[in-house]
Amino acid sequence: MSVDQNTVRHIARLARIAVRDDELSALAGELNSILDWVEQLGEVDTNGVEPMTSAVAVTMKMRDDVVTSGNLQKEVTENAPGSEDGFYVVPRVVE
Amino acid sequence: MTDLTKLTLAGARDALKKKEFTSLELTDAYLGAIEAATPLNTYVTVTADQAREMAKASDLKLGKGQGGALEGLPLGIKDLFATKGVLTTACSHILDGFKPPYESQVTQNLWHDGAVMLGKLNNDEFAMGSSNETSFYGPVVNPWRRNGDTTKIVPGGSSGGSSAAVAAKLCLAATATDTGGSIRQPAAFTGTVGIKPTYGRCSRWGVVAFASSLDQAGPIARDVRDAAIMLRSMAGYDDKDSTSVDRPVPDYEASLGQSLKGLRVGIPKEYRVDGMPAEIDALWTRGIEWLKAAGAEIVDVSLPHTKYALPTYYIVAPAECSSNLARYDGVRYGLRVPGKDITDMYEKTRAAGFGTEVRRRVLIGTYVLSAGYYDAYYLKAQQVRTLIARDFTEAYAKCDVLLTPTAPSAAFGIGEKTADPLSMYLNDVFTVTVNLAGLPGISVPAGLSSDGLPLGLQLIGKTFDEETLFRVAYALEEAAQFKAEPAVWWRS
């Protein structure tokens, strides 16, 4: 599998990263060299092998369903680009 | 007074208890050393006032004969750890101005035990790199130089600020993180000790996420004892991280000095890679002889899927990073570059905010997870990962611990490998398998290269068997007697 400049443009769009047209060729080259290199995994027989889902076998713990934190309006809005009356103000993100 | 920064963490701990000096004096000695070491670019933020306040509070406790395991001991914190009210950017432009309103659990544990924060340490942007050259704040310079040569050398990465600061005595010890070798390789490049514990040993809560199934925190320290003291304080269960493991944290320091009689040390033949420098091979052989002399039995083992570890990693890690870094969109915090509509704003913000290596990995990750490619890349990689972990399980039927080199070479010059991403990735060939299998690994300084740079040996343990790692690491350290130090050229 090999990526061309159109594919790079498409991936960059999916990743929401603006890429200039004059960068596409170099990026395609870099991505292809990495993808060619990982291609060697094709040699490995993985028939019937379970994909790893957890590096260490653990049973997920359940915690009590109680409120442990809250009333943090000031802390929550501290990094907000804008805030009004304790609300977080952001650009419109849903059209 | 003698230079207080020469003491190890254990030495300073014992001296503070005996009231030979105060934590404030010790902290001031470090703040002075940091101020005089700007050419190394190790700290991105120095929290001098906060450090002095913490030291004064520790001195009150120490005066009353109280205090925790790290009371009054000044540490450096990798910028990947969220520190309440203190700039935390993971050394990325996209997190400009971000001051977390919360503290990471690992650093919280350290402050609970009385440690003093000197500041935040430089690292590769979002911990993506093996040389600390991808930081938005510029590269860190290794305090070590080649013999008779002033070329600037990399300190390893991604925890390059941590390794360089410990080697240059700009903190007693430092926190670090390791996703593919980011604790152990920088430790090897700077003559320091670094341990990546078992996945789940330290909480990841409040650690800026890179690849969540691989990331793990650990310390970089001057010697094995200091690393043992640090890890005991950093580790522990945290109900805010569902992958942290609820089991008691042992007193790792108690493992040091215990006999290696009857211990089986495995030597994986696949780690003797093509083109490995003769001096790395010789170092490895010396390590084998040292452990044999200390009473261990040497066993040949095979880890047949070793060569597939790096390609597996470069699917899994970018895939997870592209998902984790989706949150940086310019909407809620950090950098925002305005655009004509919301998509334009996202795209411009992320283009300006991410450096070239981060962008490369986000694009690779997006591609391997995109429709039609998921099975061929990500699923396949996770299957190979199962086989890599199985290799270790089978090897551990024959041995208790593995000995390997930490890195395939000594540290290289700044700029020598940046043009070719693949050659940079190959740095992690001996360390990355450990992350994929979730195992603990430690790097111990074991000698110098022909041009005078430090070299490390790595020990790989069984899941949650950090105690054996510390025991064997201490024996290696005793045998190696690595006493070399970098000449101090950076002091202004």
Q: Give the domains, in start order, of chain B with CATH numbers.
A: 1-492 (3.90.1300.10)
Nearest Cα to B8, choosing from B233, B225, B219? B225
Per-window interface: A 1-40 vs B, CB < 8 A: 1, 3, 7-8, 11-19, 27, 30-31, 33-35, 37-40
Cβ–Cβ below 8 Å for B239 and A63: yes
CA B41, CA B250: separation in Å to the nearest integer?
Answer: 35
Q: Which chain B residues have a beta carbon less than 8 Å from that of A44?
A: 305, 308, 380, 383-384, 387
Q: Which residues pair with residue B116 across a beta bridge? A: B74
Name the residue facing B363 among A15, A52, A78 (closest C-beta): A15
Q: Which residue of B has its CA nearest to A32?
A: B364
Out of A57-61, A62-66, B461-465, which region has the weakest mean confidence (pLDDT)? A57-61
Residue closest to B249 by CA, chosen among B194, B202, B214, B195: B202
> What's the rounded Cα separation, in Å, for the pair B233 and B54?
17
- Residues of chain B contacting A82 with CB distance shorter than 8 Å: none
Give phi and psi for B7, each to the nearest 5: -70, 150
Q: Which two tokens stand for residue B199?
A: 């996945």
Count Cα neighbours of B96 within 13 Å in the Cβ-side half-sphere.
15
pLDDT at B231: 98
| Cα gap B231→B252, rounded to integer Å | 8
Of B14, B52, B33, nearest in space to B165 by CA: B33
B78 is catalytic: yes
Cβ contacts (< 8 Å) between B245 and chain A: which residues?
56, 58
What is chain B's pLDDT, residue by residue, as a tens digit (492 residues)?
Answer: 569 999 999 999 999 999 999 999 999 999 999 999 999 999 999 999 999 999 999 999 999 999 999 999 999 999 999 999 999 999 999 999 999 999 999 999 999 999 999 999 999 999 999 999 999 999 999 999 999 999 999 999 999 999 999 999 999 999 999 999 999 999 999 999 999 999 999 999 999 999 999 999 999 999 999 999 999 999 999 999 999 999 999 999 999 999 999 999 999 999 998 888 999 999 999 999 999 999 999 999 999 999 999 999 999 999 999 999 999 999 999 999 999 999 999 999 999 999 999 999 999 999 999 989 999 999 999 999 999 999 999 999 999 999 999 999 999 999 999 888 888 888 899 999 999 999 999 999 999 999 999 999 999 999 999 999 999 999 999 999 999 999 999 997
Among residues B459, B454, B458, the alpha carbon closest in space to that of B167 is found at: B454
Q: Do A11 and B363 touch (CB under 8 A)?
A: yes
- Exposed, middle or buried by CB within 10 Å (0-12, 13-18, 19+), for B422? middle
For A5, B64, B85, B179, B236, the CA distances from B158, given in Å and listed in that order, are: 30, 40, 24, 9, 23
Between helices B309-324 and A21-38, what is the axis angle to 10°?
Answer: 140
* Amino acid at residue number B265: V
Half-sphere exposure of B120 (CA within 13 A, CB side): 18
In A, minimum Cα distance to B99 occurs at: A79
Which of B130, B131, B135, B182 is flagged as catalytic?
Answer: B182
Of the residues B361, B383, B439, B462, the best mutation for testing chain A's interface (the one with the most A CB atoms within 10 Å of its CB) is B383
Asked whether residue A60 carries a pLDDT value surpassing 90, the answer given is no
Beta bridge partners of B221: B173, B193
User: Mean pLDDT over residues A65-91, rounded?
Assistant: 92
Interface contact flag, B370 A11, Cβ < 8 Å: yes
What confidence tier does A58 reach under pLDDT thresholds 50, 70, 90?
confident
Q: Is the dihedral of CA B283, B289, B293, B295 positive or negative?
A: positive
CA distance B65 to B73: 15
**B-chain residues within 8 Å CB-CB of A18?**
344, 347-348, 350-351
Say yes or no for a CB contact (<8 Å) between B332 and A81.
yes
Predicted local distance difference test score (pLDDT) of residue B2: 66
* A40 closest CB neighbour out of B311, B367, B376: B311
Q: For chain A, give the number of residues.
A: 95
Average pLDDT over residues A53-71: 85
* pLDDT band at residue A62 under the 50/70/90 scheme: confident
Contacts of A17 (CB under 8 A, 6+ apart): B347, B350, B351, B354, B359, B362, B363
Which residues in B lie closer than 8 A to residue A95 (C-beta atoms)? Answer: 342
Q: Cα separation of B485 and B489, whole Å?
A: 12
User: Is B233 a residue of the active site?
Assistant: no
Report the alpha-carbon distance of residue B473 to residue B260 in Å, rounded. 11
Q: Which of B174, B185, B169 is closest to B132 using CA atoms?
A: B185
Nearest alpha carbon to residue B123 among B163, B87, B91: B91
Show which of residues 66-95 on chain A sit within 8 Å of chain B, judged by CB atoms. 72, 75-76, 78-81, 88, 90-93, 95
Interface test with A, best of B88, B105, B247, B366 (most A CBs within 10 A): B366
User: For residue B48, what pLDDT is reported?
Assistant: 98
Q: Which of A16, A30, A46 is the best mutation test for B, with the most CBs of B within 10 A?
A: A16
Residue from B367, B382, B387, B439 whose CB has the most chain A CBs within 10 Å, to mutate: B367
Task: Please tell me which residue in B23, B104, B131, B158 is annotated as part of the active site.
Answer: B158
Interchain pair B383, A34: CB under 8 A:
no
Burial of A6 (C-beta count, 10 Å sphere; 0-12/13-18/19+): exposed
Distance CA B456, CA B190 (A): 9
All residues at 6 or more sequence positions from B37 whose CB lies less than 8 Å from its CB, including other chains: B168, B170, B490, B491, B492
Per residue in A26-39, pLDDT (tens digit) is 999 999 999 999 99
> In the sheet where B74-78 sits, what is the strand order?
B43-46, B116-121, B74-78, B173-178, B216-221, B193-196, B441-448, B454-460, B401-405, B264-268, B297-301
- Cα–Cα nearest to B331, from B319, B344, B314, B312: B344
**A94 — pLDDT class (breaks 50, 70, 90):** confident
CB contact at 8 A, B296 and B185? no
What DSSP string describes B228-284? HHHHHHH----TT-TTS--SPPP-GGGGTT---TT-EEEEEGGGS-TT--HHHHHHH
Are A11 and B366 in contact, with CB atoms under 8 Å apart?
yes
Whether residue B308 and residue A44 make contact (CB cut-off 8 A), yes or no, is yes
Instruction: Give me the pLDDT at residue B371, please.
Output: 87
Q: Which amino acid is at B462?
A: K
Catalytic annotation on B17? no
- DSSP one-letter string for chain A: ----HHHHHHHHHHTT----HHHHHHHHHHHHHHHHHHGGGGGS--TTPPPP--SS--PPP-----------HHHHHTT-S-EETTEE-------
Which of helix, strand or coil describes residue B114?
Answer: coil
d(CA B162, CA B80): 11
Smallest Cα–Cα separation from B413: which of B458, B451, B356?
Answer: B451
